[in-house]
Structure 1
Amino acid sequence: MPDYALFDAQPREPQLPSPPRACDSQVHIFGDPERFPTRPDAAYVVYQATVEEMLRMHKTLGIDRGVIVQSTAYGTDHSALIEALRIAGPAYQGCGVVDDSVDDEQLGRMHEAGVRGARFNFHPKLKNALPAPEQVRRTAERVVPLGWHLKLHMNGVDPRNITPLLADVEADVVIDHMGPLQYRHGLDDPHFQHVLELLGRGNWWVMLSNGDRRSVAGYPWDDATAYARAYVERAPERILWATDWPHPLHPGPVPNDGELLDLLARYAPDPAVRDQILVTNPQRLFGFPGGDHDERA
């Protein structure tokens, strides 16, 4: 397994304070290796990325809610995710990996633990775990009746070969990491234009994350801003934000997570829109409880 950069263990506060009930829509965690062993062919394992470390990072950033996404290192064994949700509490939900090996009893345990989404990872580095088209359809048929959303990770592939699999699904579909952008093409990138077209429909969402990693210009990642602003302009009511902590498969340098909230402030300079992305949108998609109380109180 190649060496990848470790997350910044000293997160700093963002320049602008986070609104109450702000949500980080994607993080990953790793459990005790003795209790939760990873797959021997795992592409990325960072046992330092515990749920406790994630909660400490969120406290510094002023994040009250989050979605813990199943790491590919665990395959369809969701034991570590379920334990993390127990520790994190009701302000956190899970997003799992479901295939035919996950029986109905397991699916029920996942739902009871707070899993509310199924993710399909088409990253080309995961050659041994790429979901087959018929598997995607079967999984959608099982989890959509539970009220789950669906997530697509398509970096490095042409989304036009994948998104038709879910074109007729009556469920919310989230595209991870701003879609598989090709920065060298600028805003004329056909991948980008395809994702913009999907956002014009009523049930497709885009998660603003990995703008730093995908940037060609480098820090402070100015070339990511135009794409993000176009997404926000197209459908501000269906945009999410995430750190993607602990930044899997990142060659480095890994950004400080406070910088990623600063980057969001450049994506969405209007405070009302930024609050929509951090609070209102994830609350609506993930079904977090509402209310006027501050969960940090």
Structure 2
Amino acid sequence: MKPARKKRHSPAATGSPPTPDETPAVLQFRVWLKGLSPMVWRRVQVPSTMTLRKFHGVLQVAMGWDDIHLYQFVVHTVCYGSWELSAESANIVLGDLKLRKGSRFLYEYDLNIPWEHEIRLEDTPTRVSTRPDNYDDLADLVLRLVQGWPDRCLWGSDWPHVMTPPPVPRLAPMLDLLKRVLPQEGLRAVLQDNPAALYRF
């Protein structure tokens, strides 16, 4: 019989699930096992809609553990994990933790030893399009960005996309979108004038 536990009523713990039309952000984490030399580390990418419970499973596979011991995450001084530890529920999704680039938190496994892992959010290579064939669903966003910051927007790419999960972005359709959406002066600013000014080409 499980002991009664206090329920934490917070906005993060009661976040609504994404709608089917929403594309979740991809969160890239660097995970390293503390106290060992040479360093043992892994890099993983997971959707922002993944719960800490499922993230625990990802870490078990990535680090080669057997998932037979208790675990907990310590995020913003709050513990989430195995109920035997009186921790908060690990069913909270990563996106509700309000992590920023560079945020660090702790993952502990087998608390008799324990094995401590430091986890750092490296990047959030967010995907906002569900139309990789032509990216037409980004037309309004692109136009509003260029209208709002006409001298700060520029074209960029993380080619060759070695850390990007499928589908790999297609550069030609992206450039075609810019040509369809932006007026000639806006296109010239994004592709030529702004990069030259900002990076002093």
TM-score, normalised relative to structure 2 = 0.38
Greater fraction helix: 1
Whichever structure has more strand as a proportion of its residues is 2
Scaled by the length of structure 1, the TM-score of the pair is 0.27
